[in-house]
Structure 1
Amino acid sequence: HTLIDYMSPLYPELKKEEKQICTTLQYEVEKFKVTFIHGQSILEKYFEEQAFTKTITGFQAFKLYDTYGFPLELTKVIAQERGFSVDTDLFEKHMEEQRALSGKKIAHEECPGEELVATTFTGYDEHISTATIQHLIVHNKSVERVEAHTEVSVITDISPFYVECGGQISDQGFLQIGSSQAPLLGLKKIGSSIAALIHSPQALSVGDKVILQVDSPSRMNTMKNHTATHLLQAALLEIVGKQVKQSGSVVTPDYLRFDFTSQTGLSSEDTALVENLINKKIVENIPVITEQSSLKKATDRGVIAFFGEKYNPEMVRIVEIPGFSAELCGGTHVRSTGDIGCFKITEVTALAAGTKRIVAVTGPAALTLFQNTFTIAKTLGQEYKVPFEKIHEAILKQKDLLKSAQTTIKTLKKQLYLLQMPHWLEKIHHYGPIPFLYLSLTDASLDDLRDIAQECMKAQPGLYFFVSQTQERTVYSVSLSPQLTQHLDLKSFASWLKHQGLQGGGTSTSLQGTAPTVALSLEHTIKTWVHEQVR
């Protein structure tokens, strides 16, 4: 509050948004408390795993940051207090890989030196246009003619092809050149020109006529998803609140993705309300109106402009669903909301503190989802012999039965192990002061191996190496009595095991890990190693 009072004369909006600012700050503080506690628990596990190396790996530091939001600097401070180091070089390498994958680094080709003719976009009104070639671009140079089988960017006077912008991906389609079709390999804007990249099936020259055809089913599905994205933002503003701000979107023929910031969560009830409101507007079949306006007039009347987007102050395009939504948008849209068919949210996730992501489908994709869901539900109902409304209850009951059965199996296995314990203990060999037992079991989990070792320790403190082949993998567990650590170094044992193909780690008294397979000779080689290493 003090900072707002001090800065508000220069920034009056601070006073206006004071309540929201304070709420956001408090929310961030509480979220970081959770992040800090969770991050510390993960870091403690890493300390145990890296007890021998005393180094938090770059991947571990990266995972703490990327998955759990735990800052690198905090990891370094806590690690230093514990006598550990952090591999920051490898951390930075993982960060660079993530940045590359996130698409933040986009290569832009240079434009040819000459002035290119602007292309008039016809895709709002038609999917097929007969056009004249104005330029041919090969290896970033404008040429007058290309031979057959040349990869070339074709610039025409008009084009129905939409080039990726504002979240909507580029069109699919082809160029009809004589009797041949050349599928689109890519689209890009060069200044005000639309360049269509193709592999020319025949010779082409500037001035030739070509037919440009959009893949209509793909475009129509993209249009449904784009208009649905506008409906989604309007519904969120109405249901969640005016604090909702769009932070990104992707519109494809198959799905739409909408990212937004909001300090309040999106409950399952809110999600249902948003879906219901959007489908209500679809059923109302409201005409979608587009018009041109100046940027100032548009924003003065409350039309939503996406923050960070560059707009022409003299001329912007407004896409309006009267009485519900109005946004600045250059994308392609359906004629009326009824064309969307239906809308279904498939995923709601939190990207970061205060940032949410919604993924949804419309039209044919939504219908396919409903049909598949119905088929699955019908199959489950027949399997459990219950009506649709009882399926969830039946699955929960089955889940409880499975959990109970697993508990019973675990109890029976423990009883079986206890019965075998005397026989196992008779197989203990002594290497100097260290009693040693090697056991090879089948379908025992790591927990089982640790439980057996604990029971053995009660009867005879020593060194226990247990290995088990499960359906998925081979696991092993090593336990050493604390009073025997002066006679054997498990750090050296762990290094030796890696050379035998057994990966893992642990502490001075326990190791665990996995292996693709275990040689029949492993027992003998371990016994030999223990005999040689005992101090």
Structure 2
Amino acid sequence: MQTHDIRERFTQHFVRAGHTPVPSASLILDDPTLLFVNAGMVPFKPYFLGQQTPPFESGTATSIQKCVRTLDIEEVGVTTRHNTFFQMAGNFSFGQYFKEGAITHAWTLLTNSVDDGGLGLEPERLWVTVYLDDDEAADIWENKIGVPAERIQRMGMEDNYWSMGIPGPCGPCSEIYYDRGPEYGAEGGPAADDNRYMEIWNLVFMEFERGPGDKKGNFDLVGELPQKNIDTGLGIERVACILQGVDNVYETDLLRPVIDAAEAVTGAQYGQGQEADVRFRVIADHSRTGMMLILDGVTPSNEGRGYILRRLLRRIIRSARLLGAQGATLERLMNSIMDSMTPSFPEIADNRERIVRVAVAEERAFLKTLESGTELFDRVASGAKESGTTLVDGSRAFELHDTYGFPIDLTLEMAREAGLEVDMDAFNAEMEAQRARAKADNKAKKHGHVDESIYRGWVDEHPTEFFGYTDLTGESTVIGLVAGGESVTSVQAGEQVEVILDATPMYAESGGQMGDRGRLVAGDTIVEIEDVQKVGKRVSLHKGTVVSGGLELGNKVTAEVDHAWRHGARQAHSATHLIHAALRQVLGPTAVQAGSLNRPGYLRFDFNYTDQLTEAQLAEIAAITNEAVDNDWAVNTTETSLEKARAMGAMALFGENYGDNVRVVEIGGPFSMELCGGTHVSSSAQIGPVAVLGESSVGSGARRIEAYSGLDAFRFYSKEAALVSGVASSLKAKSDEIPDRIAALTERLKAAEKEISQLRQAQLTNRTAELVGNAEQIGSFELVAVTLDGVGAKDLRSLASDIRGRMNDRKAVIVLVGKDGSKVPFVVAATHQAVSEGVKSGDLVGTFGSYVGGRGGGKPDMAQGSGSDAAGIDTGIAAVRDTLASL
């Protein structure tokens, strides 16, 4: 049975049982505690935490949620059951059915025949576990379902009790296992061998609320939940493994084609050895996860989600290289996994080109990193051999891994080829320290979870009506006041407050458009509103300060939007739509929005694209945008169903979860049509001029355009015109002659700088004989140590090489220090005879650098560095003297 069929059977089974089908959320949610969605229940978390009431009429739901877990990336492929990306199928009950219902639903789907819509698993091969004291679940399994008592095992807190790791809902679990047969391990059920007995479904019975605790099980139960909930998770990939009769998830219909593609590009064969097989599995797993992350808008970078994606893609490249691949591989691997996954995720088809482009750009960058990393490793290896050791410093290996992105496996491979070993104890100590820092940061984020339960009553019963599309002033009633994190009945002058109104003309921040500013007025009471935010996607929080009078629950107020603020915000937001459309005309349909910010007069627009835009492309984008403004197109809005909006050709953004009814904003017919809930001008001419300021990189595969709109664009152009006029006056040239005049001046300046550099170098060279003659004797060594004002690192190195050449038949050490502005560059060189007597320039650079607030490195005969504290120069040179005297 194909994986896509398993998905369909699961969904239909629960739809027939009355559950509301819920599409998978994006892997990226607005949750400060998570990098990615890592469990099927995550999108339902507000309902389980009691912050919002579930919107499902049946009180039940079912979903197949895409998930990513990356805590143990290094373990991927070592075991054959764990994946970084997986599909978690689940059914959820919010106060409806409980243990018996969840158990019955799961059993019937697993054991019903294929003809009856089930999965057709043999009942006698299924085992279950329950929590230690959960007699109720054990009784249901034995006496209601008919599972023999000997196939029901009781497990402890670690295995069969669930919580989110923070105060909130918790409860016992019941897990379902499939016996794969004696060839996979010992008899005795999951307690004896969880390789033979594969876990396929976890049923969580949420019935308690837990208190704080620092680890699993180390917490108190503070009471029962107001209603008992069900959260289950069935592993689609594991079930596919069983139903397709393969040994592991890497041999299912989704991942085996990627391994086949990897065989083709590497020349190696899967199944020929454990080490190679692990690399094939890494390629397959990471190709799928990387593709799905790119699909949901992640681009490679050096932090957060982008860092995880970069790490995954680079592990693919590294694994392919170790298997024998010589050139680029990601394009073929990505196409293979997209072929496998598209039946379940049709949106992949519209994004193939973009996904491949992002992956290939990262591959090109990493192949360059491998080249530079190889050079760095060669220096490290040479240093180890010169010092007479066969051990590569683990901290240097970690620096290669962490700073330069050079994989430790590749370092180990190259060390073996060079006859060296890596100090893995030191490397692992550095890795553990890094993990501890990450864990502490993650823990801090978890405990920083924002508690929105205080707003639940309003979210459930009193969603804010927004009438600001048509009116900027209107009468409203105060239905909520929150001050200091608590609900209050009144506030007085000077207090900061969050005001909840039954209706408002003020736009709450969403879709990149900043919240409105304005005021609430009631008699002599004035509340200045500085920001409007949404909670639960239904209630607007008007954040402001009471500047006069006082405000009480039930007060009638006049809500007034700051007209100038709204006008500028509408201009910028509509200009964003025009720039998006212009981008797609110039760059093609794969230039997809990845984020935006609109505030009065200013916009920034992030989009997925791998290459830097040319000046000509930027000029064309600006021209198309301003032509659209000049066309004075009407801006039309339509409310319709999501399905009809997509049929109309309206663009939707990845990572956004839209409701059944959406708002389409159309400018110029087919020119621009997007799903958008923001506020806009009524015609494109009202935007005014749009000044494109430029574009920049915001990470690998992501670019950003910034622009001004309306009066801000006019002011920008006016300043630019004044600047050009001033430059023209200074150069005594016409404005159109400025580029040529500046180019000529630049060439003259370069020539003058070159001449000055040559003169400076000649002066320094002329001093070589003087410096050699003034060398001081330190024990058996001669030392040339001098400070040179206004000399940079390049000239210092050249001079040091010249002096060393003149003293090559002596045991000489040269220490040259420059003063170049606020920087203190320094170079240490040593002759061959000095090196043979134990002098290491790299060590002396480290000694000197510690006195001038700097660091450096290099080879025994030449090293350099830079510092920032010139006051320590004399002390640093004295320390070098002492070191030489001790040799």
TM-score, length-scaled by structure 1? 0.85
**Corresponding residue SS for 1:111:** helix
Flag the 1:173–1:290 CA change in 2: closer, same or farther, 3 A. Answer: same
Residue 199 of structure 1 aligns with which residue? 545
- Residue-by-residue CA offset, 1:36-59 (whole Å, 9 max, x unaligned): 214642674598699696624978
- In terms of mean alpha carbon deviation, does 49-58 or 282-291 score higher? 49-58
Question: Given the alignment of the two structures, is residue 161 of structure 1 paired with residue 501 of structure 2, yes or no?
Answer: no
Question: Given the alignment of the two structures, is residue 268 of structure 1 paired with residue 268 of structure 2, yes or no?
Answer: no
Tell me the CA shift for residue 372 of structure 1: 1.8
Question: Given the alignment of the two structures, is residue 75 of structure 1 paired with residue 407 of structure 2, yes or no?
Answer: yes
Residue 603 of structure 2 aligns with which residue? 256
**Corresponding residue SS for 2:498:** strand
- In terms of mean alpha carbon deviation, does 319-328 or 45-54 score higher? 45-54
Aligned partners of 2:528, 2:346: CA distance in 1, in Å?
56
Aligned partners of 1:262, 1:381: CA distance in 2, in Å?
37
**Corresponding residue SS for 1:112:** helix
Residue 35 of structure 1 aligns with which residue? 366
Flag the 1:59–1:188 CA change in 2: closer, same or farther, 3 A. Answer: farther
- Residue-by-residue CA offset, 1:85-131 (whole Å, 9 max, x unaligned): 4844566689899999x9xx984633335344222212212223332
Letter in 1 for 2:487: S
Gaps of 5+ in 1: 65-71
Flag the 1:281–1:147 CA change in 2: closer, same or farther, 3 A. Answer: closer
Flag the 1:99–1:353 CA change in 2: closer, same or farther, 3 A. Answer: farther
Contact 2:687 2:710 (8 Å CA) reproduced: yes
Residue 47 of structure 2 aligns with which residue? none
Residue 342 of structure 1 aligns with which residue? 689
Letter in 2 for 1:455: D
Task: Give 1:391's match in structure 2, choosing from 735, 738, 748.
Answer: 738
Residue 763 of structure 2 aligns with which residue? 416
Letter in 2 for 1:453: A
Aligned partners of 1:496, 1:530: CA distance in 2, in Å?
9
Letter in 1 for 2:409: V
Residue 69 of structure 1 aligns with which residue? none
Aligned partners of 1:528, 1:418: CA distance in 2, in Å?
25
Residue 174 of structure 1 aligns with which residue? 519
Question: Given the alignment of the two structures, is residue 238 of structure 1 paired with residue 589 of structure 2, yes or no?
Answer: no
- In terms of mean alpha carbon deviation, does 143-152 or 202-211 score higher? 143-152
Task: Give 2:455's match in structure 1, choosing from 107, 112, 121.
Answer: 112
Flag the 1:37–1:112 CA change in 2: closer, same or farther, 3 A. Answer: closer
**Corresponding residue SS for 2:650:** coil
- In terms of mean alpha carbon deviation, does 269-278 or 443-452 score higher? 269-278
Gaps of 5+ in 2: 1-256, 262-334, 385-392, 416-421
- In terms of mean alpha carbon deviation, does 325-334 or 204-213 score higher? 204-213
Contact 1:47 1:54 (8 Å CA) reproduced: no
- Residue-by-residue CA offset, 1:159-193 (whole Å, 9 max, x unaligned): 12111111111112233343353322442223422
Task: Give 1:469's match in structure 2, choosing from 801, 812, 819.
Answer: 819
Letter in 2 for 1:166: G
Contact 1:346 1:361 (8 Å CA) reproduced: yes
Question: Given the alignment of the two structures, is residue 497 of structure 1 paired with residue 848 of structure 2, yes or no?
Answer: yes
Flag the 1:458–1:7 CA change in 2: closer, same or farther, 3 A. Answer: closer
Identity of aligned residues (%): 22
**Corresponding residue SS for 2:726:** helix
Tell me the CA shift for residue 377 of structure 1: 1.6
Letter in 1 for 2:407: T
TM alignment of 1:245-394, pairs within 5 A: 245-262=592-609, 266-313=613-660, 315-323=661-669, 324-394=671-741
**Corresponding residue SS for 2:407:** helix
Flag the 1:288–1:444 CA change in 2: closer, same or farther, 3 A. Answer: same
Which structure has more relative contact order (CA 8 Å, sep 6+)? It is: 1
Residue 155 of structure 2 aligns with which residue? none
- Residue-by-residue CA offset, 1:268-299 (whole Å, 9 max, x unaligned): 33322222111111011111111222222222
Aligned partners of 1:527, 1:16: CA distance in 2, in Å?
65
| CA RMSD, Structure 1 to Structure 2 (Å) | 3.7
**Corresponding residue SS for 2:796:** helix
Contact 1:167 1:250 (8 Å CA) reproduced: yes
Flag the 1:291–1:273 CA change in 2: closer, same or farther, 3 A. Answer: same
The count of aligned residue pairs is 522
Flag the 1:444–1:244 CA change in 2: closer, same or farther, 3 A. Answer: closer
Question: Given the alignment of the two structures, is residue 218 of structure 1 paired with residue 565 of structure 2, yes or no?
Answer: yes
Tell me the CA shift for residue 20 of structure 1: 7.8
Flag the 1:451–1:365 CA change in 2: closer, same or farther, 3 A. Answer: same
**Corresponding residue SS for 2:508:** coil
Flag the 1:339–1:27 CA change in 2: closer, same or farther, 3 A. Answer: closer
**Corresponding residue SS for 1:114:** helix
Letter in 1 for 2:792: S
Flag the 1:276–1:10 CA change in 2: closer, same or farther, 3 A. Answer: closer
Aligned partners of 2:488, 2:348: CA distance in 1, in Å?
57
Flag the 1:242–1:92 CA change in 2: closer, same or farther, 3 A. Answer: same
Tell me the CA shift for residue 8 of structure 1: 5.8
Residue 55 of structure 1 aligns with which residue? 395
Flag the 1:23–1:203 CA change in 2: closer, same or farther, 3 A. Answer: closer
Letter in 1 for 2:692: I
**Corresponding residue SS for 2:767:** helix
Flag the 1:30–1:150 CA change in 2: closer, same or farther, 3 A. Answer: closer
Aligned partners of 1:160, 1:58: CA distance in 2, in Å?
56
Residue 87 of structure 2 aligns with which residue? none
Tell me the CA shift for residue 360 of structure 1: 1.8
Flag the 1:292–1:526 CA change in 2: closer, same or farther, 3 A. Answer: closer
Aligned partners of 2:441, 2:741: CA distance in 1, in Å?
42
Aligned partners of 1:16, 1:526: CA distance in 2, in Å?
65
Aligned partners of 1:23, 1:490: CA distance in 2, in Å?
49
**Corresponding residue SS for 2:870:** coil
Residue 480 of structure 1 aligns with which residue? 830
Residue 136 of structure 1 aligns with which residue? 481
TM alignment of 1:98-109, pairs within 5 A: 107=450, 109=452
Residue 153 of structure 2 aligns with which residue? none
**Corresponding residue SS for 1:184:** strand
Residue 441 of structure 1 aligns with which residue? 788
Contact 2:338 2:348 (8 Å CA) reproduced: no
Residue 67 of structure 1 aligns with which residue? none
Tell me the CA shift for residue 210 of structure 1: 2.2
**Corresponding residue SS for 1:250:** strand
Contact 1:222 1:254 (8 Å CA) reproduced: yes
Letter in 2 for 1:109: E
**Corresponding residue SS for 1:132:** strand
Flag the 1:399–1:270 CA change in 2: closer, same or farther, 3 A. Answer: same
Tell me the CA shift for residue 364 of structure 1: 1.7
- In terms of mean alpha carbon deviation, does 498-507 or 13-22 score higher? 13-22
**Corresponding residue SS for 1:165:** coil
Letter in 2 for 1:222: A
Residue 148 of structure 2 aligns with which residue? none
- In terms of mean alpha carbon deviation, does 438-447 or 31-40 score higher? 31-40
Letter in 2 for 1:55: S
Flag the 1:477–1:9 CA change in 2: closer, same or farther, 3 A. Answer: closer
**Corresponding residue SS for 2:588:** coil
Flag the 1:494–1:422 CA change in 2: closer, same or farther, 3 A. Answer: closer
- Residue-by-residue CA offset, 1:349-393 (whole Å, 9 max, x unaligned): 344454332222211221122112112222222222222222122
- Residue-by-residue CA offset, 1:419-454 (whole Å, 9 max, x unaligned): 222222111122343221111211111111111111
Aligned partners of 2:598, 2:745: CA distance in 1, in Å?
40
Aligned partners of 2:338, 2:762: CA distance in 1, in Å?
71
Aligned partners of 2:562, 2:756: CA distance in 1, in Å?
57
Flag the 1:46–1:203 CA change in 2: closer, same or farther, 3 A. Answer: farther
Letter in 1 for 2:715: T
